[in-house]
Amino acid sequence: MNADRTALFPGTFDPFTNGHLDLTRRAARLFDRVVVAVAHNPVKGTFFPVEERVEMIRLATRTLRGIEVIEFSDLVVDCARRVGAGVMIRGLRAVSDFEFEFQMALMNRRLAPGVEVAFLMPSQQYTYLNSTLVKEVARLGGRIQGLVPHAVEERLRARMRAAAPARAKKPAARARPARAKSAKRR
């Protein structure tokens, strides 16, 4: 397949949200082949192991034509070259995303001048959504239905249930009584 018809959609996807799914669908309408590349990224301290994130994304995208899901642990431009992608897809939810994404796009252009970056905006209903927010809502027992694909929702709830007893066993921090400040005498 021609490199200019293959797009790479890289990310940590911890977890894969309905915003990510929306961008994957949009990219699939523009390109013959979209490779969703799941980053190992140990610096971020992910909630789900990479293999599980890959599996959840495969389940969420199984009905979409031309979608592949892989994992990678090297430079994203090296991953793009490996899969024959001429374009990297990046999502922009708000103006606040632009500065970081622009900086990354320029660095990637320096590293791989032949790989373009295409910025896609999600549907308006997903502009506030990010993986960190979803994990926090789930951790605190909030409703995550409609924020993530069904397969992700099930795994996230199961993971939170498993973590709940561990959180319950931790003793609550006791408040220390305030110490009165002693007046210094001269």
**Is 150 a catalytic site residue?**
no
Write the burial class of residue 57 (CB in 10 Å: 0-12 exposed, 13-18 middle, 19+ buried).
buried
80 vs 70: CA distance, rounded Å: 11
Catalytic residue among 5, 58, 81, 93: 93
Catalytic residue among 29, 44, 62, 150: 44
Nearest to 54, CA basis, from 41, 68, 66, 64: 68
**Is 20 a catalytic site residue?**
yes
**Is 182 a catalytic site residue?**
no
**Is 131 a catalytic site residue?**
yes
Rg (CA), the chain: 21
Catalytic residue among 26, 90, 131, 135: 131
Write the burial class of residue 4 (CB in 10 Å: 0-12 exposed, 13-18 middle, 19+ buried).
middle
Residues annotated as catalytic (active site), given as ranges: 20, 44, 93, 131
